[in-house]
Chains A and B, each alone.
Chain A
Amino acid sequence: MQHFARNLMASAVLALMVGCAATGENTDTDQTGVQPDAAAQPGITAQPGQDAYSYAYGQAPSGYDTYDASGGQAGGRPGGQAVAGAGGAVSADRVVYFDFDSVEIRPESKPVIESNARSLASNRRIITQLEGHTDERGSREYNIALGERRANAVRQTMIVMGVSPQQVRVVSYGEERPAAGGQDEQSYALNRRVEIVY
Chain B
Amino acid sequence: MLLLGVGSFAHAELTIDVTKGIEGGGIPIAIAPFGGGAPEDIAGTIATDLQRTGKFAPQSAGSPADYSVTGQAQSGGSRGYVVQFQLNGAQGSQLLNLSFDVPANQLRPVAHRISDLIYEKITGERGLSGTRIAYVAGGGGSWYLVVADADGQNPRMILRSGQPIMSPAWSPDGAKLAYVSFEGRRPQIVVQDVYNGGRRVVSAAPGINGAPAWSPDGRRLAFTLSKDGNPEIYVLDLAAQTPVRLTNSSSIDTEPVWLPDGSIVFTSDRGGSPQLYRIGSGGGAAQRLTFEGDYNARPSVSPDGRYIAMVHRRGGRFHIAVLDLQTRQFRVLTAGGLDESPSFAPNSKMIIYSNGQRLTAVSVDGSIKQDFALRGNGRDPVWAPYSR
Q: Which residues of A contact B (CB under 8 A)?
A: 4-5, 7, 9-10, 13-14, 17-18, 21, 25, 31-35, 44-65, 67-70, 73, 75-77, 79-81, 83, 86-87, 129, 136-142, 144-146, 148-149, 170-174, 176-177, 181, 183
Q: Which residues 170-205 of B sit at the A interface, judged by CB distance below 8 A?
A: 181-188, 190, 192, 194-201, 204-205
Within 8 Å by CB of B146, from A64, A136, A137, A139, lies A64
Q: Which residues 271-303 of B sit at the A interface, judged by CB distance below 8 A?
A: 274, 295, 297-298
Check if A56 sits within 8 Å of B137, measured CB to CB.
no
Within 8 Å by CB of B141, from A32, A44, A56, A87, lies A87
Is B63 on the interface with A (CB-CB < 8 A)?
no
Which B residues are CB-close (under 8 A) to A46?
Answer: 184-186
Query: Among the listed stretches B24-32, B50-58, B161-169, which one makes contact with chain A, having 4 or more residues with CB under 8 Å of it?
Result: B161-169
Check if B142 sits within 8 Å of A54, measured CB to CB.
no
Within 8 Å by CB of B298, from A35, A80, A139, A172, lies A139
Residue of A nearest to B211 (CB): A141
**How distant is A82 from chain B, measured CB to nearest CB, in Å?**
10
Give the CA-CA distance A87 to B136 in the complex, in Å. Answer: 18
Query: Among the listed stretches B68-76, B123-131, B152-160, B324-332, which one makes contact with chain A, having 4 or more residues with CB under 8 Å of it?
Result: B152-160
Within 8 Å by CB of A76, from B162, B204, B341, lies B162
Within 8 Å by CB of A136, from B159, B200, B356, lies B356
Q: Which residues of B contact A (CB under 8 A)?
A: 11, 13, 137-142, 144, 146-147, 154-164, 166-167, 181-188, 190, 192, 194-201, 204-208, 210-211, 224, 226-231, 252, 254-255, 267, 274, 295, 297-298, 311, 313, 318, 338, 340-341, 356, 375-377, 379-380
Check if A53 sits within 8 Å of B161, measured CB to CB.
yes
Check if B267 sits within 8 Å of A139, measured CB to CB.
yes
Question: Beyond A65-B376, A148-B226, A183-B338, is A140–B298 a contact (Cβ under 8 Å)?
Answer: yes
Which B residues are CB-close (under 8 A) to A33?
Answer: 206-208, 226-227, 229
Within 8 Å by CB of A52, from B183, B208, B379, lies B183
Question: Beyond A52-B183, A54-B197, A140-B166, is A31–B380 a contact (Cβ under 8 Å)?
Answer: no
Residue of A nearest to B162 (CB): A80
Question: Beyond A7-B197, A67-B160, is A142–B274 a contact (Cβ under 8 Å)?
Answer: yes
Which B residues are CB-close (under 8 A) to A146?
Answer: 252
Within 8 Å by CB of B158, from A13, A21, A54, A81, lies A54
Give the CA-CA distance A173 to B208 in the complex, in Å. Answer: 9
Complex A-B: 29 CB contacts under 8 Å = A33-B206, A35-B186, A35-B206, A52-B162, A52-B163, A61-B157, A64-B138, A68-B142, A69-B138, A75-B141, A77-B141, A80-B162, A80-B163, A86-B185, A139-B255, A139-B267, A139-B311, A140-B379, A141-B210, A141-B224, A142-B254, A142-B274, A142-B298, A144-B187, A145-B226, A145-B231, A148-B226, A149-B252, A174-B166
Check if B142 sits within 8 Å of A75, measured CB to CB.
yes
Residue of B nearest to A9 (CB): B198
Check if B197 sits within 8 Å of A13, measured CB to CB.
no
Point out which of A31, A55, A86 has the most chain B C-beta atoms below 10 A from its C-beta: A55
Which A residues are CB-close (under 8 A) to B195?
Answer: 56-58
Check if B194 sits within 8 Å of A57, measured CB to CB.
yes
Which A residues are CB-close (under 8 A) to B161?
Answer: 51-53
Which A residues are CB-close (under 8 A) to B167?
Answer: 140-141
Check if B199 sits within 8 Å of A21, measured CB to CB.
no
Q: Which 5 A-B pairs have the closest CB atoms?
A: A48-B184, A80-B162, A33-B207, A69-B141, A60-B156
Within 8 Å by CB of A7, from B138, B199, B205, B311, lies B199
Residue of A nearest to B183 (CB): A51
Check if A86 sits within 8 Å of B207, measured CB to CB.
no
Residue of B nearest to A144 (CB): B210
Check if B227 sits within 8 Å of A70, measured CB to CB.
no
**How distant is B182 from chain A, measured CB to nearest CB, in Å?**
7
Give the CA-CA distance A13 to B156 in the complex, in Å. Answer: 25
Residue of B nearest to A81 (CB): B141
**How distant is A103 from chain B, measured CB to nearest CB, in Å?**
11
Check if B158 sits within 8 Å of A14, measured CB to CB.
no
